[in-house]
Structure 1
Amino acid sequence: MKLKQILAALAVSALAFTGCQKANEGVDTSPTNGSAIGEVSGVWTKGSVHEIKGDIIIPAGQSLTIEEGVTVLMDVTAKPEIVVQGNLYSLGTADNPVKFTVSDVYRTAENKFGKLWGGILAGPTCAELVLDHTILEYGGATTSDASTSVKLKLYKQVAGENLPALWFSNVNGKLIVQNSIIRNFQEDCTYIEGGKSIFANNIFYTTGLSGGEAMNFKSGCLADVAFNLVFSTNTNALKLSNAGDRTPQAYIVAYNNTMVNTGWRRPTAKGGSVWLESSVHADLYNNLFANTRFGIKRDPKKLEDNRSKNDYNWYYGFDQATVDQFQLGKNDIVPGGANDVRGTKAGDNDPKFVNYPLNNSLTSPDFNTAWDFHLQGNSPALTKGTTNFFRNHKAGITTSNGFTYVSPEPATYMGAYGIKL
């Protein structure tokens, strides 16, 4: 009898092992250097490298924490998606960011709009997602019937969609994206369908092959968007919408952002800098528009909430055609406030960036990391802002791992950067 019990136990163990092996085939779940496919959770430790060989899933109720200096290397043949049903905390530092990227050989001009892996797709059960000092690059692949996101009915649920760098969809969730860089994606950088969120101190560039926004917010979102630099997105820097009929109504407060050359690569009604539609409640202050296509613009058939406000925004155009197209009374431009700075002649209101050629091509998506969008000490834009407005998350958003993230205090200068210290 004892022998039979031993044999039975061995049989059960073998079955369990076989089932485990099938579910995690090819997975190295150790926190140090490894490869992953399938379900992942736990901690990827400082400085490690993780090769993602296929779609990975953070299960509901579990978390993956990625420490500073980790490189998450995507297999360009598999074009993996990162599906977040639990929580994701990507916690880099200024000197040691986390990178979601591809091998050096693929980071080329030919691949400038990515398409080499999917994106980070956070489903309705994702309670918390933090990207701090994190670089996302060379993604935005197109979905197929075999994509995990299509099978799980995530994002737009069908084959043939270009994935954003980040999709978030929990109206009760918490989303922090700060001190990060999103570059080299073929369409939207972010597509947010709910949650309390802070987007602060980020940089977006070389994105949008034939469409795409830097930050795209829908209904269910309560967001503060501040101190971001957006360069030459194909469509808008900010698309603010209450589409989707989720609760709460979308309320976006965007302040102290610098937008440069946005919208010119999509010469349609929607290509611009800030687009308002579908009853979104949007307040915009202290934003600097430099050579952008249009200013703050609305969909005339689906207007924004009439409580929306915008004032203390700065407009600059190098040539007369650029200046003309952000004037009030044209192109469905939203009227601003008495404190806007909006000239009528080419070259009016030069913000005096430290290092940026203001006559740079309006349609080039190429970004030079040596450019410096801080303001010179004699910039007229240094003292024209306001600090007297509501922010959604002035009191902060606290996550379950013990961190509290607070919307940055507004500055009295225009744009994302004041004097370089």
Structure 2
Amino acid sequence: MKRVLFLLMLASAFITSCDKDEVTNDPQTGTKPDELSVTGEVSGTWAKNSIVTVKGDIVVPAGKSLIIQEGVTVVMDTVAKPEFIVHGNLYSVGTKEKPVKFTVIEAARTVKYNFGRLWGGILASKTCAELLLDNTILEYGGATTTEASTSVKQGLYKAASGERVPALWFSNVSGKLVVQNSTIRHFGEDATYIEGGSVIFANNIFHTTGESGGDAINLKSGVNADVAYNLVYNANTNGLKLSNVGERTPQLFIVGYNNTFVNNGWRRPSVKGGSIWVEASANVELHNNLLVNCRFGIKRDTKKPEDNRSVFTNTYYYGFYQDGVNQFQPSSEIIAGTNDVISKTAGDNDPKFVNFPLGTAKDSNFDSNWDFRLQTGSPVLGKGITNFKRNFANGLTLNGQLYKSPEPSTYSGAFNVK
């Protein structure tokens, strides 16, 4: 009987050890993954539902990968203000119900730190081949570099002290970057700054980014990108900044479609932009985008204009404020597209959102109760086109999984009828 009981205990232990959801002790630290405190080099897997405290700059070494599973909360130390350096691969894969979250202690998530600056950002070097953010939240970062910053010592981003780092920087022209179903909020500078790669941004929310400058999606030379179904609210300057600056190969080519831009550009101290900015020979295709209460229409740098092959169609404009409507009007700076919907009178072309007060103050904080889906009978319905090509309709493969840019829709903006 003792032998039988012993064998049963062994079998039970074996079954438990094979449970994929088991939390086991880390062999190096002796702690459980849900109690990890990290600094320096990291790789492997951060188990789902873990809490990982980052005490100093961390680095995914070249040739290695870090997988962050659903429900993981990554808490950045607000004193050390760490940077997250990626020389290898990073796969952050949450779910709608259990997103991965890069954040700070709860006490620091206040209006006082509305524009973060409490940690650095995710900075991916030229050796980072694949970076995936799926159902991931990045918040309260954008710290200023110093001479002691790892990014400065390693020559990353702008490689100088005094620079405010973005939430996400990616630089490998041969690499692959997918950001989908994610949220970037409360960052002091650019939300993203992309200097290379095959790129998909889809179904994301950007809000409250850029205290005195900065764009939501900032694309440079070396990038081929599809940007679709994103909501950008209250970016300091532009929802999209598109520039071939850097003259890397390939030339910047973006297909941006079915995005919604709301209340952008009003905190910019100069007049550089306020919705979408194009410059410096960027090759741009923009279709089915919805601009609501933004400071300007799609705007070009007249001294360094976009590539003459660029195409602009089916932009739908709404302005509650007359000064915004005046700055939607086509000119040498404001680009007139084919089949645009635009008027000269404030209040025309109400898109009929389910729940967003159109008279919301220009610089209001984001309200998670707002609903930017369309009411039945919205005039935005039927204003989109679908007869254009995407860069990655056939998808990009990251970590063995295929990610496709979504199909365009026959409405303007990021959201359909409720």
Normalised by the length of structure 2, the TM-score is: 0.92
Using the TM superposition, name which of 178-187 and 315-324 deviates more: 315-324
Q: Is 2:168 the counterpart of 1:166? A: yes
The whole-number CA distance in structure 2 between the counterparts of 1:159 and 1:329 is: 39
Instruction: Write the deviation string for residues 27-63 of structure 1: whole angstroms up to 9, x where unpaired.
Output: 7796443010000000001100100000000000000
The whole-number CA distance in structure 1 between the counterparts of 2:255 and 2:304 is: 19
| Residue number in structure 2 paired with 1:409 | 407
Residue identity matched to 1:391 = R
* Counterpart contact for 2:167–2:187, Cα < 8 Å: yes
How do residues 199-348 of structure 1 correspond to structure 2 at under 5 angstroms? 199-329=201-331, 332-337=333-338, 339-348=339-348
* Counterpart contact for 2:273–2:299, Cα < 8 Å: no
* Counterpart contact for 2:87–2:125, Cα < 8 Å: yes
The whole-number CA distance in structure 2 between the counterparts of 1:251 and 1:372 is: 31
| Residue number in structure 2 paired with 1:396 | 395
Instruction: Write the deviation string for residues 218-276 of structure 1: whole angstroms up to 9, x where unpaired.
Output: 00000000000000100111000000010000001110000001001114221311000
The whole-number CA distance in structure 2 between the counterparts of 1:32 and 1:138 is: 22
Question: What is the RMSD computed on CA atoms of the aligned residues?
Answer: 1.2
Aligned residues: 391
Residue identity matched to 1:76 = T
The whole-number CA distance in structure 1 between the counterparts of 2:321 and 2:111 is: 29
| Residue number in structure 2 paired with 1:376 | 375
| Residue number in structure 2 paired with 1:23 | none
Q: 1:292 to 1:28 in 2, by over 3 A?
A: farther
CA displacement at 1:329 relative to structure 2: 1.7
The whole-number CA distance in structure 2 between the counterparts of 1:321 and 1:138 is: 31
| DSSP 3-state at the match of 1:380 | coil
CA displacement at 1:393 relative to structure 2: 0.5
* Counterpart contact for 1:28–1:36, Cα < 8 Å: no
The whole-number CA distance in structure 1 between the counterparts of 2:35 and 2:277 is: 43
Q: Is 2:73 the counterpart of 1:74? A: no
Residue identity matched to 2:353 = F
User: Any stretches of 5+ residues in structure 1 without a counterpart?
Assistant: 1-25
* Counterpart contact for 2:33–2:51, Cα < 8 Å: no
The whole-number CA distance in structure 2 between the counterparts of 1:403 and 1:203 is: 23
| DSSP 3-state at the match of 1:243 | coil
* Counterpart contact for 1:265–1:271, Cα < 8 Å: no
Q: Is 2:111 the counterpart of 1:109? A: yes
Normalised by the length of structure 1, the TM-score is: 0.91
Percent identity of equivalent pairs: 63
The whole-number CA distance in structure 2 between the counterparts of 1:39 and 1:367 is: 36
User: Any stretches of 5+ residues in structure 2 without a counterpart?
Assistant: 1-27
| Residue number in structure 2 paired with 1:385 | 384
The whole-number CA distance in structure 2 between the counterparts of 1:27 and 1:280 is: 49
The whole-number CA distance in structure 2 between the counterparts of 1:374 and 1:73 is: 32
